[in-house]
Amino acid sequence: MAEHILPNSNLRKPNLRELMRPFRSLVWLGVVLGACGALTSLIPFIGIVELARLFLTPDISDIADAIIPVVFAIVAGLAMGWICTVIGLWLTHIADQRMQAELRRALVRKLGQVPLGWYSEHTSGAVRKAVQDDLDDLHHMVAHHQVELAAAFVLPLAGLGYLSWLDWRLALLAVLTLPVYLVSYAWMMRGFGEKMQQLDKDFARVSAAIVEFVHGIAVVKVFSQTGRAHKNYQQAVEDFSRRYTGWVTPLVRLEAVTSLALSVPVIMLVSLSGGAWLVVNTGIQPIDVLATTLIAVMIPQTILTLSQGLTAQQKAKAAAGRIDQLLGVAPLAVTSEPKEPKGAGLLFKQVSFAYTQDRPVLSDINLRCRPGSITALVGSSGAGKSTLAKLVPRFYDVTQGAVLLGGVDVRDIAPDNLYRHVGFVLQETQLLAGTVADNLRLGRPDASDQDLEDAARSACIHEHILSFPQGYQAVIGKDAFFSGGEAQRLSIARTLLADAPVLILDEATAHADPESEAQIQQALSCLVRNRTVLVIAHKLHTITGVDQIAVLDGGRLVECGSHRQLLAEGKHYAELWRLYNSAEKNEKAMSGEAQVTSGVSS
For 591, list phi and psi in degrees, rounded to 5.
-65, -45
- Identify the H or E element spanning 175: none
Burial class (CB in 10 A: 0-12, 13-18, 19+), 153: middle
Give the largest CA-CA distance in the chain: 122
What pLDDT sits at residue 347? 92
* pLDDT confidence tier of residue 118, bands split at 50, 70 and 90: confident
Distance CA 16, CA 103 (A): 8
| pLDDT tens profile 153-186 | 888 888 888 888 888 888 788 777 777 767 766 6
CATH superfamily label, 346-573: P-loop containing nucleotide triphosphate hydrolases (3.40.50.300)
Say what the pLDDT of residue 597 is: 41
Element (H, E) at 254: helix 231-258
User: Nearest 5 degrees, angle CA 524-CA 526-CA 528?
Assistant: 65
Confidence of residue 308 (pLDDT cuts 50, 70, 90): low
Q: Give Cβ neighbours of residue 265 (< 8 Å, ≥ 6 apart).
A: none
- Domain spans in the chain, listed from the N-terminal domain onward: 1-167+299-332, 346-573
For the stretch 52-71, pLDDT in tens is: 777 777 666 666 677 888 88
Return the closest-CA partner of residue 397 out of 386, 411, 414, 384: 411
Query: Sign of the CA dihedral 461, 466, 469, 471?
Result: positive
Mean of pLDDT values over 80-99? 89
Helices 299-327 and 146-166, axial angle in degrees (round to 10): 150
Confidence check: pLDDT of 90 > 60:
yes
- Looking at this protein, which amino acid is placed at residue 464? H
Pairwise pLDDT comparison (559 vs 427), residue with the higher score: 559
Q: What is the pLDDT of residue 367?
A: 93
Lowest mean pLDDT among 249-258, 553-562, 573-582: 249-258
Share of the chain above pLDDT 90, in %: 9
pLDDT band, very low/low/confident/very high, at 7 (cuts 50, 70, 90): very low
Burial of 518 from C-beta contacts in 10 A (0-12 / 13-18 / 19+): middle
Name the more confident of 192 and 136.
Answer: 136
Closest CA to 276 of 173, 168, 179, 177: 173
Q: H helices of 391-532, where?
A: 415-421, 436-440, 449-458, 462-466, 484-498, 514-527
CB 38 within 8 A of CB 154: yes
Q: What pLDDT is attached to residue 408? A: 92
Contact 221, 213 (CB under 8 A): no
Predicted confidence (pLDDT) at residue 358 exceeds the cutoff of 50: yes
What pLDDT is recorded for position 10?
A: 39
Rounded average pLDDT over 559-574? 90
Considering only residues 379 and 13, tell me which one the structure prediction assigns the higher pLDDT.
379
Give residue 504's pLDDT band: very low, low, confident or very high (50, 70, 90). confident
Q: Which CATH architecture has domain 1-167+299-332?
A: Up-down Bundle (1.20)
**Class of residue 229 by CB neighbours under 10 A (exposed 0-12, middle 13-18, buried 19+):** middle
Of the pLDDT bands very low, low, confident and very high (cuts 50, 70, 90), residue 560 is very high
| Mean pLDDT computed over 311-326 | 74
As a whole number, mean pLDDT of residues 433-443 equals: 86
Highest mean pLDDT among 38-47, 79-88, 175-184, 355-364: 79-88
- Angle between helix 146-166 and 24-40 (nearest 10): 30
For residues 50 and 44, what is the distance between their CA atoms, to the nearest angstrom?
10
Query: Considering the chain, what is the average pLDDT of its residues?
Result: 77
The average pLDDT across 289-310 equals 75
Give Cβ neighbours of residue 444 (< 8 Å, ≥ 6 apart): 451, 497, 498, 499
> Does 1-167+299-332 match 346-573 in CATH topology?
no
The pLDDT, as a whole number, for residue 349 is 93
Taking residues 383-398, report their average pLDDT. 88
Question: In the predicted model, what is the mean pLDDT of residues 392-406?
Answer: 90
This prediction has a pTM of 0.63
